[in-house]
Structure 1
Amino acid sequence: MNLLVICFSVLLAAILLALFRKFSYKHGTKKLPGPWCLPLIGYPFLFTKSCHVKLGELADRYGDLFQIYIGGKLVIVLSSMEAAKQAFGKLELSGRPSFESLAVFNNEVKGEFAFTSFSEACIFIRKALIRSLGRLLRSKKSQVETMILAAQDSLKQQLLESEGSITDPDKLIHKTIISIIGPMTLGSELNCKDLMFDQLLNSTENFNKVMKFNFVANYFPLLRQIMHREFKVFRENNSRIGKFMEETIRNHRSNNTVEDLQFFYGMTHLCERFKRPQLTGMNSSHFQWKVEG
């Protein structure tokens, strides 16, 4: 009896192995280099928060142009400007997939102040930033140069510590940009220990994580429900900030006052980051601002 069970198990394993090899992407027609992928799942190591880092490692191994499977779909990856430039001239590489997540995202951000040029809120923010930047440049030119050089040195040091290995560039780049743009626009010096800095950095990183996850979720119907849930949170946060901005602009029109730009940015990012009722319920009558023009 035991011998029969063993023989049946071996036969079943052989059949499954044969089917696995038959339907494996490795044995299909392959025009471009790329890693071995699992049937139905594709390349499993993309199911991470840093899938762009894994794609960078694959580019080092297979070159600027390679292919992978995500789910049951073939995906061509272009990992350099030169590869992308050449691909635009080839018919077989023309066109881009129409992701559901991108369509949802585009619909969500229509009319929102952060993504719409020349809206009332966009003009208001631009005036406030120009005024804040002008004040900083007039009084502290050397401080601006110091901030830029310090951010550059910090980024260089962190890249040297990685010794040329594949790293996640998002956090390093965002940290460098915010350490320069933050002080210039908010009118005060920010560093890594400041709460404002953490809020700006976390907000940017969380948005990127959602978009990276959505890239993979587009290929798997079961994951799309999670994708829609993430967009629901995005919609709610944007709605709170949008209402806050509208009320602030109305107050600016009636009083023509704006004094504390940094406090305004602190409140909007706190609304988005922590979604606290006591913050989202605040209105522009709690503080006075002034923007010339």
Structure 2
Amino acid sequence: MVGGYERWDCEDIALSSSAPGHTDTASAKEEVSDLSPGSPVVPPVTGHSANLGILFQELPITIPPNIELIHQFCPESGPLLPPQSLQMASFQFVSFSATELLLASAIFCLVSWVVKTWQSRAPKGQKSPPGPWGWPLIGNVLTLGKNPHLALARLSQHYGDVLQIRIGCTPIVVLSGLDTIRQALVRQGDDFKGRPDLYTFTLVTDGQSMTFNPDSGPVWAARRRLAQNALNTFSIASDPASSSSCYLEEHVSKEAEALIGRMQELMASAGRFDPYSEVVRSVANVIGAMCFGQHFPQSSEEMLGLVMNSHEFVETASSGNPVDFFPILHYLPNPALQRFKEFNQRFLRFLQKTVQEHYRDFDKNSIQDITGALFKHSEKGSRVNGSVIPQEKIVNLVNDIFGAGFDTITTAISWSFMYLVTNPQIQRKIQKELDTVIGRARPPRLSDRPQLPYLEAFILETFRHSSFVPFTIPHSTTRDTTLNGFYIPKECCVFVNQWQVNHDQELWGDPFEFRPERFLAASGSAINKTLSEKVMLFGMGKRRCIGEVLAKWEIFLFLSILLQRLEFSLPPGVKVDLTPIYGLTMKHARCEHFQARLRFSIK
């Protein structure tokens, strides 16, 4: 607290009173600038002296160590405090060194670790899941490394399908094995349908995301059904003015043709291209058109800037991120976390603006997109389990729908291209099937899907082999429960290792071989449905991805149209890197050397 215009008598600071004409406020501001990285707040006062409230940071690193932070406060200089507090004559500011803060944090974590360890003990007569020994304070974070899905798959071979680790002070149950996961998420779905209250989750849509929000009650269930119904309706609904079978087919066909054109232009100008940067634009345009219709700003700089940087979201929202389990990391420099925050803020502002523009032109008698359907539902004042779906929640629902129909599809198509150029014989088989079933007179349609089993098998093998969604979004238990004979307490964080299921030796025999034929029935003319249902990518049960049907249809349409018209390849000697980069969705290293040859022209 600084009062008046007198200067502190410190050897390392120039000592003087305010010069003539130099106001006390200016003097105080200079003193604040010298002594603290805080922000001065100047209250409106009268008289020849002023009081300043100063906000000190916990680590006043700009203050010389020999300055004693004990300053006098004179009540006569201005009534900054309430009258009953004016008898206080002085305040003492205490600074803490970095070592002291770290020591305090360590003690806090140790106490929390002891408390949580005691609380997570199984009741008498029951047993907790087994797991590796972990270090105090940090738990098993070092064991997870840069690829937690691989580390936890190895641990499951030793400890079984239900094991327990710790990240920091937080116990986490890890589920592996198809039967165990199905038991938990489907048969005991009500026990495992929760979401943990993780820090990164609170940053998505200001903590109101239906997908990431810890709420799992009736209001959440009702809004999830509403979002899923809206998404499915505008996927399969038909446009009377279009020859396409549904809105999805219409939008994808249009964007696929535009994508072919852009690839041909790039081949003519540069002789090569990066497929990811082109695909991401087309997929965003499809889901944007379904969500907003003509109100979606296709190919605008703002939209492209967001979708091209979606990796800023997936690299931080991944399972096992230490920032979710070590609170001190919220306050330390973290470029990835800062990018994550900024991306979510930009994306939310973009959606809010687009939804508001849509509402200005809303016509309840002409519903042509998902947002319009949600507006109509809101205006009706429809009640779901006693809760109105308010208009401010529409942005949150649209955010989840857009996310469900964007990143997974983009990543799947991008991985498909990588497998096509590294397995040219598979690409030729797909094109032979397309030529035989469809020919070259018309583009593929959704109704052709059952007659193209090899293409469908290729898509399934891409899902399985890449396992680009290594974990489901973390679950949590809604009540005390048991699984495979192990006790799991309420509100326990649960990781579900989809990568392990997709690479289980017992299920697949040769899990590390890319072999689409494994999904074909004995006749080769149909998909082995039993085996196809063992691929895990979209989760299971009550938290299953609402965009699963949309994603599978859209991926099929994009690939069938592109492969009918184009042949993809790499220049001689160029190789691609198929090593996954860990995240919520795992990307591959970008390749800028793709080439595309037009197989035939449409007159």
What is the TM-score of this pair, normalised by structure 2? 0.24
Q: Please state which structure has a larger fraction of its residues in strand.
A: 2
- Higher Rg of the two aligned structures: 2
Q: Please state which structure has a larger fraction of its residues in helix.
A: 1
